[in-house]
Structure 1
Amino acid sequence: MKNMRNIPHFTLLRAFESAARLKSFTLAAEELHLTQSAISHQVRKLEDYFGCALFIRRNRRVELTLEGQRFLESLSRIFDVIEAACAEVSLAPKAQVLALYCAPSLAVKWLGPKLPEFMKAHPDITIRLTTGSGQVDLLRMRELDMSICYGTITDCSGIVNEPLGTERNVPLCSPSLLEPGVDAVALIKKLLLIDSQLNNVNWASWFTLNNLRLPARPRPSFDRAAMSLSAATDGMGVALESTRLAERELARGDLIELGKGVFKEMNVVTHTVSWRADESQVPKIRLFREWLYQVADAQPA
């Protein structure tokens, strides 16, 4: 028999959260439809449970102690999750929630801006998006429906892994760095090069591909493609990044492809889409997958 969770009764937590958020026992009593003495009694029981004061009582107001403030910050995040979970359960019977895990830079720079299009086409599917730089085990993390992870993923029984097409990785920089009369080869040799730490495509490989010598000078580096692209947009130097991730900056003219038609391109599989094999025909997964490959202009293998 599993042990019960070692946490106070939810009634006490709710009374504390309300009083701490509203900074008033009276307002908390009104919100929870209780008396002020009931709120005070429940908070006191919680303080006895922890063995420390959570509030400083004033004449007509209350203030949180340091312990109370820390507890409120943690508890507020938990209550937000509970509230979201309750909202999902109360959705219309035909509504579906698609829990999606995505690499951070892809989510921010490419997928996020396109999601309104999917949501408009499929209003009965609610997207719940979380991000992370690591790969996830969908057989173990059943709360997730699909993942779009950076890099290739080792095949695993019960999981379908499909590349999200190939991505062009090219030198990208602000047009402000261009110099009249200076060609792309001369510029790439003199401009500051920006490293993306997690990118499988690096400057050494790119320079070798293009039969050029990599300049022996320090290079700034960032652990997210989004940060490298932002630095390039701000004029720091040249980033070797995916044109998929830089789609909006290229469209606006904030970034340009340095040496387009001059340098050789590096086309690589950068992101992998995964889902559980036995859920391939679940409507929300099938519809999202079909839409995703359409907007990526790629075809699953």
Structure 2
Amino acid sequence: MRNIPNFALLRAFESAARLKSFTLAAHELHLTQSAISHQVRKLEDYFGSALFVRQNRRVELTLEGQRLLDSLSRIFDVIEAACAEVSLAPKAQVLALYCAPSLAVKWLGPKLPQFMKAHPDITIRLTTGAGQVDLTRMRELDMSICYGTMSERAGIINKPLGTERNVPFCSPKLITPGVDPGKLIKEQVLIDSQLNNVTWARWFKLNNLRLPARPRPSFDRAAMSVSAATDGMGIALESTRLAERELERGDLVELGKGMFKEMDVVTHTVSWRANENQVAKIRIFRQWLYQVANVEPDSMNERK
């Protein structure tokens, strides 16, 4: 048994607190005003503290009441969304997807409308997080797209989302025509991406250049590094997949393209449960995902 008060009391309180009126709450819940007042009073007795300050024809929340409303609002939103999913059309499906934040914001999110248009019966429920997730334990998730490579785990299929080109890029405002890119990269501010395995030290060594010994601004999200470079802060060393839109628009330009050696690495891994390999929504989404990523999934080794 969960140690929580009767749901009807919580519902009455949430309605009255949100509408700031017992009368409006009674109308919304098809009850009488006295019934709402009685239920709120019972909830206050349960907590042993006042939730409302009763005033003439209106009510105001106490600090305890505001704290309860803030939490209940989030919980009721989740309940409402869950009920909406259950009541979807019989053919409709919800795909619960977990994704690395920068990939979600800079690459996947802008492409999802085309998936939704092509597959209107599949509703995407997207959550983001920097850490890797265990799909054997987090059964509420259908798939994950995590940063880095995933450890082998029984019952889980892991496939890289192809390789990503990591190159230096910056705002065109920082480039002076005729200036050698090698000279420019030694003089301009270099932006660090803290979580990226492709570091400036590795890049300079690969290109037989000496890394300048000066402080570098750093960010813990690739999306922030891309944005900083777009704003003209300096030169970022990041995945061109994450900077795809900025490069296409000309907000960023690749520095020394064809001149410097590139670093192509596996940056993101797609995972799903092996026993759900042929579930329609998972199969359809991953086929679409690899298509827009220009990756042939059969060329990637499956690890179960």
TM interval, short-chain normalised: over 0.9
135, 140, 153: which is aligned to 2:137? 140
Distance 2:107 2:178 in 1: 34
In 2: Cα distance, 1:163 partner to 1:243 partner: 16
The equivalent residue for 1:29 is 26
Corresponding residue number in structure 2 for 1:273:
270
**Displacement of 1:181 after TM fit?**
2.6
In the aligned structure 2, how far is the partner of 1:116 from the partner of 1:187? 39
Structure 2 CA distance for aligned equivalents of residues 71 and 30 of structure 1: 22
Structure 1 residue 67 corresponds to structure 2 residue 67: no
Per-residue CA shift, 1:55-111, capped at 9, x if unaligned?
A: 111011111111111111111000000000000000011111100000000000000
Residues paired across the two proteins, number = 298
Q: SS at the partner of 1:194?
A: strand
Output the CA distance in 2 between the equivalents of 1:231 and 1:256. 13
The percentage of aligned residue pairs carrying the same residue is 85
Q: Specify the SS of the correspondent of 2:258.
A: coil
Distance 1:152 1:61 in 2: 57
Gaps of 5+ in 1: none
Residues 99-149 of structure 1 show CA distances to partners (whole Å, capped at 9, x for unaligned) of 000000000000001011111111111100000000101011111000000
Give the equivalent residue in structure 2 for 1:160. Answer: 157
Partner of 2:284: 287
Report the counterpart of residue 180 of structure 2 in structure 1: 183
TM-score normalised to structure 1 length: 0.98
Q: Would you say 1:13 and 2:10 are equivalent positions?
A: yes
Q: Could you say which residue in structure 1 is the equivalent of 2:239?
A: 242
1:172: Cα distance to partner?
Answer: 1.2
d(CA) in 2 for partners of 1:200 and 1:54? 51
Gaps of 5+ in 2: none
- Name the structure 1 match of 2:90: 93
Aligned to 1:150: 147
Per-residue deviation, 1:200: 1.0
Residue of 72, 76, 79 corresponding to 2:76: 79
CA distance in 1, matches of 2:102, 2:150: 18
Tell me which moved more, 53-62 or 266-275.
53-62
Corresponding residue SS for 2:158: strand
SS of the aligned residue for 1:162 comes to strand
Q: CA deviation at 1:180?
A: 2.8
1:151-209: CA deviation from partner (whole Å, max 9, x where unpaired): 00011110000000000000010000011331100000011011111111111000100
Q: 1:182 & 1:9 partners in 2: Cα distance?
A: 72
Give how far 1:23 is off.
0.6
Are positions 1:194 and 2:191 aligned together?
yes
Normalising by structure 2, we get a TM-score of: 0.97
RMSD of aligned Cα (Å) = 0.6
Inter-partner Cα distance in structure 1 for 2:185 and 2:45: 67
